[in-house]
Structure 1
Amino acid sequence: MDVFDDRTGHITDEGFAALLAGQLDELASLEAAEHLSFCDSCCARYADLLTGEALLEPEHSLVQPVMERAKRRSRVIFFRHAMKAGLAACLALTLWFTGVFTMLPSAVGAALPDRAAYRLEQQQRLNEAAEKELKEQLDASNAPADTLNTRISNAVGQLLNALNQKGESDK
């Protein structure tokens, strides 16, 4: 028994009878189910056989009105996208011809300080503050520079004497 017609590829009357009676093996049942999933004419015949009555046909076809609505909707969507793109292009050209884009880099450059110059200025402020603090410390001690050198050399000498004395006492 052939489930499918070799000439048209549709399910035969014997195939429908075997499908309804449950006499098809598993592979043939799967093939028939797959065919019914995409073949509208076989699906309508199968539904007809299951219910025992013919399916109702609509008074008039709905294909034409639905397709017209889909076309109208696609035109509206296309028009909206075209309007958005056109408005964006007009705005960009208006800004371009008014010179906004040529003024923008100079305005941004004037508004934002140069980082390197800013860092250099901060470092100079820190150096000036450190120099001022050193001058204040020297003025507060009122000690001339040669006295400081003398104090340092005396401290080093005392340290060396202490080390020599310790070394002699260890012997």
Structure 2
Amino acid sequence: MITIDQAKFLDNLRITQAYCEQQLQQKEKLDWVILRSAINPVCRDEQWFVHMLGHNKAACDEQPIPLKEWARKSDPYYHDSFVELFNLQLDFKTSVSDRLKLDGICQGKILVVEHGENIPDGAADPETNSFFDEWDLPPIDTWFYNDYSPSRGGILFAWIPEKFIRLADVAIEIQFLNILHWFEKPSNWNI
């Protein structure tokens, strides 16, 4: 069981919801690119992510799917690097939060990713049209809360807009270690 700072959790969630909504307004970008936006910090003199159009076919259609990879020098399972990346992306969203508008309630769900327990097999990547990457992680723009303990590893919380819930359901279904699941609000939270 983890202890969640409810105020920080909710503040980060609202900023991430607003940021995702802003990104989804961009009509000129493909769906897979929309939530992998300008947030691509530098790690050891290279960007964290490499994006390119792939030649694989998604299971659900015949369109080429994009490939995105963690750069050679970045590793999502190295705790310090992951925490650095998480903090950089959250700092970026927070720095632009005064320009973000969030009107009303965002439709979507909170996904929990127990990434410290994962053995990535990449199966979710093609089955979700690259919404999840080869490490079974959702797009960086959706990340809003992270926790870590040496015994259990990392737990990441991500905001999944309604448009992508079906893809997250597919990832949950095929991820063989059951590290992906929907967040259930604790009964003592007043939201």
The structure with more radius of gyration: 1
Tell me which of the two structures has the higher relative contact order, counting C-alpha pairs closer than 8 angstroms and 6 or more residues apart. 2
TM over 0.5: no
Q: Report the structure, 1 or 2, having the larger helix content.
A: 1
TM-score by length of 1: 0.18
Q: Report the structure, 1 or 2, having the larger strand content.
A: 2
TM-score by length of 2: 0.16
